[in-house]
Amino acid sequence: MNSLDTLARPLRDLRISVTDRCNFRCSYCMPKEIFGKDYPFMKQADILSFEEIVRLATLFSTLGVEKLRLTGGEPLLRKDLPKLVTQLSKIPSIKYITLTTNGVFLAKYAQSLLDAGICRVNVSLDSLNNEVFKAINNMNIGVEPVLKGIFKARDVGLEVKVNMVVKKGLNDEQIMPMVRFFKEEGINLRFIEFMDVGSSNGWNMKDVVTKKELYEKIHEQYPLEPIDRDYFGEVAKRYRYKGTKAEVGFISSVSETFCGSCTRARLSTDGKLFTCLFASSGYDLRTLLRSDTTDEEIVERIRNVWEKRDDRYSEIRTEESTSKRKIEMSYIGG
């Protein structure tokens, strides 16, 4: 299975959740009221092994996947993660391997991640104010270790993007401090509209700060000029601060949807395939891996799932649909 088997609908990006655990109980995706210290996380036997992850990533690559993103939970909690990255980087068709992290352990692992084959890290940071940040992460963890990880990653040569989810009344006062700080540092910043991922984050449309509002607020102080998209399916609308090389971007899956150009599939920690971030159920690939099913048969199953996808949740979001059960972010990854 060496030749690329092109799908009618592009599939370029596979996001792989390598653990359902996190060292935060963030109010956006793992509120402590639900994900407390006694929360029943997955048993080790239920989690895909490195060998199974590499096998699936290889099969996905034959269908056009070129980019892998490792997520969680917090992926840096997975033991020996750089070893997995090394194995994934040997898949011939894979051009990019990135990682999404809350940054707490990034300083420790930045060099080994780079050496293994990670080319970029996306770091979640929703405030530069310690008290606001602690209120969001629910674990009394301040900003300093995250910033230390961001700077260490940059210093060793990793590309760094910082992601900020903005929730009205919680951290919207931190928009401009974040802009000024990361503009000065020359680090790309992405604003993400507060989304109704999962069923436990208490989402309400009134809490959303839209891309339009964010853009106007920033543009008033720092004029922005648009940047052309790098590839089909790029979700962030990117801008450059006029007269600089520094970028800011907006991911607007609530106010300006992009379902029609989505090229991303998601693989959960226990091996279920999801074709949408807002899905309520996935397709079990782990059982196939642990049976006598051939690679060709698994590829055909993936093909059938992807070709039949009709996900348009963000386009048809209603008050009724937002109340329906959806898979939790800690399980499916970002």
The token pair at 24 is 């935060």
DSSP annotation string for 180-234: HHHHHHT-EEEEEE----SSSS---GGGB--HHHHHHHHHHHS-EEE---SSTT-
Domain range list for the chain = 13-332
Numbered residues of the known binding site? 15, 22, 26, 28-29, 69, 73, 100, 124, 161, 195, 259, 262, 264-266, 276
Numbered residues of the known binding site for GTP? 15, 69, 100, 161, 264-266
Numbered residues of the known binding site for S-adenosyl-L-methionine? 28, 73, 124, 195
The token pair at 322 is 């937002």
CA distance 102 to 75: 9
Numbered residues of the known binding site for [4Fe-4S] cluster? 22, 26, 29, 259, 262, 276
Q: What mean pLDDT value characterizes the chain? A: 87
Tell which residue, 118, 49, 48, has the closest CA to residue 86: 118
CA distance 150 to 131: 20
CA distance 229 to 221: 24
Pick the CATH number of 13-332 from 3.40.50.150, 3.40.449.10, 3.20.20.70, 3.40.50.720: 3.20.20.70
CA distance 45 to 295: 22
Reported pTM: 0.86
CA distance 288 to 309: 20
CA distance 330 to 297: 29
CA distance 214 to 280: 30
The token pair at 293 is 């099913």
Most confident range, picked from 26-35, 141-150, 319-328: 141-150
Residues 188-224: tens digit of each pLDDT: 999 999 876 654 445 578 889 999 999 999 999 999 9
